[in-house]
Structure 1
Amino acid sequence: MGVSQRLKSRFRKFLQRPGTTVDLGPLARRLSAIEDREEALRELDDEALTEAAGKAADHVEICAVGREAARRALDERPFDVQLLGAMALLDGRVAEMATGEGKTLTATIAAYGHVRRGHGPVHVLTVNDYLARRDAQWMEPVYTRLGITVGWVTEASTRDERREAYAADVTYVSVSEAGFDYLRDQLVTDIADRVQQDLACAIVDEADSILIDEARVPMVLAGSVPGGSDPVHTAADLVRDLQAGKHYEAAEDGRSVAFTDAGLARLEEQLGVDLYADEQYAQLSALNVALHAHALLRRDVDYIVRDGGVELIDEMRGRVAQRRRWPDGLQAAVEAKEGLNATAEGEVLDTITVQAYIALYATVCGMTATAVHVGEQLREYFKLEVAVIPPNTPNIREDEPDRIYSAHDMRDEALVEEIKLAHEKGRPVLVGTLDVKASELLAKQLAAAGVPSVVLNAKNDSEEAAIIAEAGALGAVTVSTQMAGRGVDIRLGGSDETDRDAVVELGGLFVIGSGRHDSRRVDDQLRGRAGRQGDPGGSVFFVSLEDDLVTRHAGDALPASPRMDIDGVVHDPQVEYAVEHAQRVAEGVNHEIHRNTWRYSVVIEQQRIALAQRRERLLTSEVAAIMLLERAPEKAKETDEDVLSEAARAIALYHLDRLWAHHLAELSEVREGVHLRALGKLDPLDEFHRAAVPAFQKLFTDIEARTIETFEEADLGDGWQPERSEIVRPSATWTYLVHDNPFGSELDRLIAAVGRRISSSGS
């Protein structure tokens, strides 16, 4: 057949596309050789194909065999562009492939190739459990024909199930579950208790989301500690009765709030204390946290309450952020605000950011529909280049310019009317909203206008696959929070494509955004749901000058009197520029937060690696026993050799783990307070390093000293057990992710509150 002229033409076009960082030419030139192998491979029986798959080593043979295995297992012959994507992944790139272009199958061929080339085991890291399980089961027939074993891990997997899944050649697992398993493996006292094998190769699905948006999210392993007092619930009760404007004032950007003098006086009277006395620091902190939860965090926008608990909403995906908590007492404050019992945070035994965890893999590659916008960041943090893969069929979606309105009510009225007109014609409409509250409000407005709709948001995200699958049906109206990472194609005419021709005649799926997100990539993910595989489609965004994005980041750029129609539609180039500018500023702010957070994390991750190497030696060798023979020779020589080996290892590991937990807590406190030194014109990062480096150097000395002390005091008679030496590990452990604090650190808030009080009293 040969590569068609049409495909060659599109390759040339994409090779010239601005922002593309990888030349696809060398990969495209292999396509003819891959096709040349097709006929011979088709003549092989399944057993012979599996045998051939075991011998493949180069790009051409891997892709040729992978294509034939997919054809037999799924009755789907991978397109040339999917093979281009697979080759990009084999070269350690991030492949940008449009929504609906078959990334799942592309990753399968690449995973097989990495295994064959000796890069395994391979972990395909997904954004959630649903995709990990679905993709592993969906692709298993392909892997079977390729002679590759595959497994999957979800939050519900038992330890034995995890161990079995990780023993496979390819394992599908959400990035958080993989990270939690890594943390738990770092605390085992017997190497046989580990579930993961080597972190050899990671293929990252939704790479921009995981590697950039979630990169700085800490994954936490916590242990049970005795319960203490709970000042937050008391604070919540006091704050609940305060009046906005009288007792506290919130900033226009919605990111800070502070007590007024009247508010502080009322609280001090109720508590009978001077809140600015040194001994009242904890009480004042609790009140400030409670005030932020009360005044700034919004139910059904920032979180939902479900099954007796507070569940955070991932603003990038519009769904519940599984097992995620706000830090600095903010989680407990929101739980108190909603009248719920505070969930335990426990003592942090170990923690690692998503970015640091992925950096542990020897080989990293990934795929997403939106990578070019973060190409510089992928290069900066992971040394990854982006390969933009052309679509199999040209995109004919019609993207309209933004419709900008002066106010929310005018925008919402026009939005409902636009949806109603499309619905009356039978054209399916997918509306992307910014949060749960907005999705529910729009659904009510549509119902009042006689337009039935289906809502997909964090409250029913378990039903997402079924809802999205029917979003292209004739007359369907689907109101959803963000679509990034949803992982299901929208087929015109519904999941069975019964009414495909009718929907095509109407122009295909119509995607409408009810406001711009802080990230262009999230908007592009929504827009990309239309125009799949060359389907017709359309998209438009409705923007209000009252949107948070515009008021926060473009207020100064807006003209005083923009040109507009009588219905509130704005026609002003300066306003259009301001909206685009606001989005770029928001992206820049998030990038700087990422960069700043990582600067502080670098030294901690270097220390973690050094400590992990030390722990590995203790776990797998007799280094602890040898140390005790040198440092406590009399008792060591009196001790049975097997008991010495077991006790030395257990004691040394116990103190290493305990002191590492204490070290992390100490660095957290240093990180919290280091910004005070900026007031003295000192560099906070330098000051952090001045504290962190000596503390870590002292750590090794302390581990050794405590190990020797415990050993000398231990009763090492018959039947020695760690409990007899008070080497007691946490009775329970659990995992969670730390969600970004939307208001900065507790110290930042406290300084702001103190500053507000001083400035108001001095005026």
Structure 2
Amino acid sequence: MFRVLNQMFDNNKRDVERIVKTVVQPVNALEEETMKVDNLAEAFMALRRRIIEGGESLDDLIVPAFALIREAGRRSIGKRHYDVQLIGGAALHQGRIAEMKTGEGKTLVASLALAFNALEAKGCHLVTVNDYLARVGAEEMGLLYRTLGLSVGLSTRELQPMQKQAQYACDITYVTNSELGFDYLRDNMAQSREALVLRADHPLHFAIVDEVDSILIDEARTPLIISGAAEKATDQYYVMAKLIRRLKRGLPAEPGVRTEPTEDYTIEEKGKQVHLTEQGISKIERLLSIHDLYSPEAMDKAHMITQAIRAYELYHREKDYIVNSEGEVIIVDEFTGRSMPGRRYGEGLHQAIEAKEGVKIENENQTLATITYQNFFRLYDKFAGMTGTAKTEEKEFLDIYGSDVLVIPTNRPVIRKDAEDLVYMTRDGKYNAVVKEVQEIHATGRPILIGTASIVTSEQLSAKLQEVGIQHSVLNAKFEAQEAAIIAQAGRSGTVTIATNMAGRGTDIKLGGDAEFILGQALEQNFGVSRFAPEAEAFIKAISRSDPAATELGLKIAGVTPEFIAQAQQLQADTNADHTRVQELGGLHIIGTERHESRRIDNQLRGRAGRQGDPGSSRFFVSFDDDLMRLFANERVVSMMGRLGADDTVPIEAKMVTGAIEKAQARVESRNFDTRKQLLEFDNVMSKQRDTVYAQRREVLLGPDQDVEESTEGMIADFVDLQLATYLPMEQSHDTWDIEGLKSSMLDAVPQLEGFDFEGLRHLSPADAQDRLLSAVADAFDQRKEELSPTMFNSLSRYVLLQTVDQHWKEHLHGMDVLRQGIGLRGYGQRDPFTEYKFEATNMFNEMIDNLKADVTKFVFRMQFGESA
């Protein structure tokens, strides 16, 4: 009965079947006819003309378009889209999240939706998690797109604005999530149209986000921020770093045990918070020779000391960050294990870590522009995403982004065997068991991938494997430059690879190794030929197929010799033989050294094995010393195991323990979701303000002179209205009107009103007084235009508006930062912090707008030009 009900309400299966019927089957029926098309680019551009000139709907052309894209893939890169990939492409076009297992070809799937949506000629973006994947995607799929007559761009950090413009002007642009977000923010700080890098007409039309769960969920807690140096002494951080070593960490208050916390401070590891005790506050005041740590003049010191303790107790080298050879503190992404150059912890924490490590402290920054990933990607007309793990987070995707998840069937059934977790009492017992399992599996010749949660763990395991004589590769934030090469060969027999939380993301682990990758590297290193160059692609594909034409194709590449071709053929033959051997042995074996906070990360690691119907297996090793178990698991389970006298050499396989792990992960996932949701709620307040300011700014930047002039006039009129409402309130008697106050305020902004009869306004009705003053200001405005010439005046107005908006917005962001940091204290007064934040943020924004209009008025009427102007 339950099976029947599940089938009735299985929306995923129903949606897949609908796509098969409306897209896949018609495309397959058209395939033979499409193979006869001589010029695919001409046929594809004909579809574009039908949309742009003929007014046809994009959805009406999905079948012929997909048929042409599939044929382009077959001709250009030798890859024909599978039926399940057509399903994935259709899901992406619909703006959905496509969940596809590892090795199912997401890169090729994306080409369907990207090329199809590029028919609208408004620009499409493929967003990746790192530069390597963006570059490889653009180069590999570039041949396919160009076969269809489409242009392909790649936006990277080192490009200049003019170069970026050219990349974003392409039909399809590959770019990382952070670079795209920063390009958007920089565009909204641009001082001229020429400085914009995104398209002026359709900057954010359609995007596909690769590893969408990583970008829109894992990284969603960290907003994008463009900062400028703030005036603040940094040497104080060194003082605080020394001072905290004289403080003692204590225990928090605990009902029935302690009524008060002990020592100088306590920490809360879950929330990464620090709490000073009364004793600690007194000691700090004595050491710093100040009377009150929380007085207005000492607030900076209170903040610095708190951040110094957080840096010392809660942020650890080789786990949360690394220090590179230049002495820079580089954050390590907690989810992917990758280093994040250019990213800095906010609110002085990064400076506190630099002081702790004794390296140069960079100046603290002031926010100039900021946006969260959630609100950024919601700016797109349409966006989609793809990943191997998304269904467990579907509620969040629906709630925040309005996108559901469609699980795409695999091309071949998954036959990987996932074993039950093995749980040990201590970390040492767990590591010993991991080494033993590696020895046993390695002896059979099977390749092994070991996933760790930190750099420290990877290096500890590496040392243990060295002790027992097992050769291996280590992949973490220290060695990520070799990521693709290490992971590409992680499927060879006898290979052992340790990877920190990234397990080859974006690079397939092929059983027996990846001969195509090695050959491509050899061509680049020995002959300076990109493996994505057409002649190199043709040669590599011929080698992989054992095609007799490989020799002829290879000799067409400058410098390639018959000896090199023979070596390439032997490499492919050895790889094929090893592939068969590894399959017979049972495929790739995955070892997880601890459970991650998120089940998705565990599934990503498991998903490296069993690609495309390959055999494989996985097992996780857990201990009660692991952070997840220590902080979130049920303490009764731990104490019970201790009372039972569990032997650390024997794993625990009780269902109660497995349940504790799953519940701990669920609690952490729920907490993280709440954190992201709260961040979004707060940023939504800012988002409405940001949209208003950026829309006004874009109108000024891109609009014609007439619109700029009207905007300037409108702001000046609003300023006048505000002065009238302030000094000549309608509800008061004329005798009580503050004419002198009005005169002083107006002359300060518009000195040209020196001869205006302000006292005469007292005898007029409020409406007539408004008309008379506005008329006088309008005359002064016209006089100012004539004085400067219309061309010069319009340039002045545009400049004044942009500069004034930017300055006030920057100051407003600083004020919002301060408000956000302190708003939580309102909760102690039985007031809802979020409601208070919205109220105060709205008042601050309205005040900013009023001040902005006042400054625009003053600048327009007072700014002087030198004779050279």
Both structures adopt the same fold (TM-score exceeding 0.5) = yes
Alignment match, 2:397: 378
Residue among 202, 205, 214 paired with 1:209: 214
Deviation, 1:284, is: 2.1
Partner of 1:760: none
Counterpart of 2:694? 612
Change (3 A) 1:22 1:329: farther
Q: 1:228 to 1:22 in 2, by over 3 A?
A: farther
Alignment pair present for 1:90 and 2:89: no
Query: What residue in structure 2 maps to residue 728 of structure 1?
Result: none
1:494 aligns with 2:513: yes
Q: Which residue of 2 aligns with 1:6?
A: none
CA gap of 1:639–1:703, structure 2 versus 1, over 3 A, is: same
- 2:76 corresponds in structure 1 to 73
Instruction: Kindly indicate which of the two structures has a greater share of residues assigned to helix.
Output: 2
**1:317 maps onto 2:317 in alignment:** no
Is 1:234 aligned with 2:253?
A: no
> In structure 2, what residue type is equivalent to 1:656?
V
The separation in 2 between residues aligned to 1:702 and 1:36, in whole angstroms, is 65
SS, match of residue 383 in structure 2? strand
Question: Which amino acid in structure 2 is aligned with residue 610 of structure 1?
Answer: T
Q: Is the 8 A contact 1:375 1:385 kept in 2?
A: yes
Among candidates 218, 224, 227, match of residue 222 of structure 1: 227
2:818 aligned counterpart, secondary structure: helix
Cα drift, residue 581 of structure 1: 0.4
Distance 1:299 1:171, change over 3 A: same
Cα distance in structure 2, aligned partners of 1:655 and 1:21: 55
The residue number in structure 1 matching 2:15 is 23
Match status 1:109 vs 2:112: yes
Query: 2:45 matched to 1:54?
Result: yes
After TM superposition, give the deviation of residue 561 of structure 1 in Å.
Answer: 2.0
Partners of 1:470 and 1:392 in 2: how far apart? 23
Contact conserved, 1:652 with 1:704, CA < 8 A, in 2? no
Q: Secondary structure at the match of 2:15?
A: coil
Q: Deviations over 1:122-174 (max 9, x none)?
A: 01111111111110011000001111111011112222221110000000001
Residues 1:369 and 2:361 are matched in the alignment: no
Corresponding residue for residue 711 of structure 1: 860
Q: How does 1:591-610 map to 2 (within 5 A)?
A: 591-610=673-692
Check conservation: 1:643, 1:716, Cα contact below 8 A. Answer: no
Q: Please name the residue that 1:636 is paired with.
A: 785
Aligned residue runs from structure 1 range 115-134, under 5 A:
115-116=118-119, 118=120, 120-134=122-136
1:254 to 1:611, Cα distance in 2 relative to 1, 3 A: closer
Instruction: For 1:678 and 1:334, locate their aligned partners in 2 and report how far apart those are by CA, in whole Å.
Output: 30
CA contact (8 A) 1:22 1:387 kept: no
Conserved 8 A contact 2:503-2:608: no
Misfit runs of 4+, over 6 Å: 12-19
The one-character-per-residue Cα deviations of 1:525-550 (angstroms, maximum 9, x if unpaired) are 10000001001100011111221111
Instruction: Report what 2:736 is aligned to.
Output: none
1:528 and 2:637 correspond = no
Question: How far apart in 2 are the matches of 1:21 and 1:367?
Answer: 18
* Contact 2:266–2:276 (CA under 8 A) maintained in structure 1: yes
1:655 aligns with 2:804: yes
CA distance in 1, matches of 2:91, 2:786: 59
| 2:193 pairs with 1:191 | yes
Maintained 8 Å contact 2:293/2:301: no
In structure 2, relative to structure 1, the CA distance for the partners of 1:565 and 1:266 (3 Å cut) is closer
Q: Provide the C-alpha distance between the structure 1 equivalents of 2:8 and 2:435, rounded to a whole number of angstroms.
A: 40
Are residues 1:425 and 2:444 paired? Answer: yes
Matched, 1:357 2:376: yes
Q: CA RMSD in A?
A: 2.2
Alignment match, 1:550: 629
| 3-state SS of paired residue (1:560) | helix
- Preserved contact between residue 301 and residue 435 of structure 1 (Cα < 8 Å): yes
Amino acid at match of 1:554: A
Q: Is the 8 A contact 2:487 2:504 kept in 1?
A: no
Q: Secondary structure at the match of 1:558?
A: helix
* Aligned-partner residue type, residue 42 of structure 2: E
State yes or no: 1:625 paired with 2:709. yes
Task: Give the corresponding residue for 1:32.
Answer: 25
Distance 1:449 1:103, change over 3 A: same
- CA distances 1:325-360 after superposition (whole Å, capped 9, x unpaired): 111110000011111111234332111111111111
Q: How much does 1:216 deviate? A: 3.6
| Residue aligned with 2:18, SS | helix
Using the aligned pairs only, state the percent identity. 37
Q: 1:248 to 1:124 in 2, by over 3 A?
A: same
Cα–Cα, structure 1 residues 592 and 79, in superposed 2: closer, same or farther, change >3 Å?
A: same
Write the letter of the residue equivalent to 2:272.
Answer: R
Does the 8 Å CA contact 1:275/1:283 hold for their aligned counterparts?
A: no
Q: Distance in 2 between matches of 1:504 and 1:674?
A: 59
Kept in 2: contact 1:222–1:345 (CA 8 A)? no
* Structure-1 residue corresponding to 2:850: 701
Residues 423-481 of structure 1: CA deviation (Å, up to 9, x unaligned): 12111000000111000101001111211111000111111000100111111100011
Q: Which amino acid aligns with 1:27?
A: I
2:365 & 2:113 partners in 1: Cα distance? Answer: 41
**1: CA distance between counterparts of 2:147 and 2:829?**
66
Q: Which amino acid aligns with 2:659?
A: Y
Contact kept in structure 1, 2:308 and 2:349, CA below 8 Å: yes
Contact 2:416 2:615 in 1 (8 A): yes
Per the TM alignment, residue 275 of structure 1 is displaced from its structure 2 partner at its CA by 4.7
Instruction: Tell me which amino acid in the other structure corresponds to 2:709.
Output: A
* CA positional deviation for 1:251: 4.5
Determine the structure 2 residue equivalent to 1:179. Answer: 181
Taking the aligned partners of 2:40 and 2:639, their CA distance within structure 1 comes to: 70
2:814 matched to 1:665? yes
Q: Distance in 2 between matches of 1:145 and 1:190?
A: 36
Q: 2:823 is matched with which residue?
A: 674
Q: How far is the alpha carbon of 1:404 from its aligned partner? A: 1.2
Residue in structure 1 matching 2:589, options 506, 510, 515: 510
Are 2:230 and 2:363, in contact at CA under 8 Å, matched by a contact in 1?
no
State the alpha-carbon separation in 1 of the partners of residues 107 and 430 from structure 2. Answer: 38
Distance 1:21 1:269 in 2: 69
Instruction: After superposing the two structures, state which structure 1 stretch, 502-511 or 244-253, moved more.
Output: 244-253
Do the aligned partners of 1:14 and 1:388 also contact (CA within 8 Å) in 2?
no
Which blocks of at least 5 consecutive residues in structure 1 are unaligned? 1-11, 721-763
- Asked if residue 466 in structure 1 is aligned to residue 485 in structure 2, the reply is yes
Secondary structure in 2 matching 1:300: coil
Structure 1, 383-392 or 244-253: larger mean CA deviation:
244-253
Q: Distance in 2 between matches of 1:364 and 1:76?
A: 25
Counterpart in the other structure of 2:661: 579
Query: Taking structure 1 as reference, are residues 445 and 15 closer, same or farther at Cα in structure 2, changes over 3 Å only?
Result: farther
Residues 1:244 and 1:14: Cα distance change in structure 2 (over 3 Å): same
Q: 2:332 is paired with a residue of what secondary structure?
A: strand
**Greater mean alpha carbon deviation, residues 491-500 or residues 170-179:** 491-500
| CA apart distance, 1:229 | 5.0
- Between the aligned partners of 2:856 and 2:794, the Cα distance in structure 1 is 13
SS at match of 1:23: helix
Moved more, 381-390 or 229-238: 229-238
Confirm or deny: 8 A CA contact 1:493 1:503 kept in the other structure: yes
Q: Say which structure, 1 or 2, has more relative contact order (CA 8 Å, 6+ apart).
A: 1
In structure 1, C-alpha distance between the alignment counterparts of 2:347 and 2:649, rounded to whole Å: 46
**3-state SS in 2 of match to 1:458:** coil
CA distance in 2, matches of 1:613, 1:300: 43
Choose which of 290, 297, 307 in structure 2 pairs with 1:273.
290
Whether the 8 Å CA contact 1:632–1:708 is kept in 2: the answer is: no
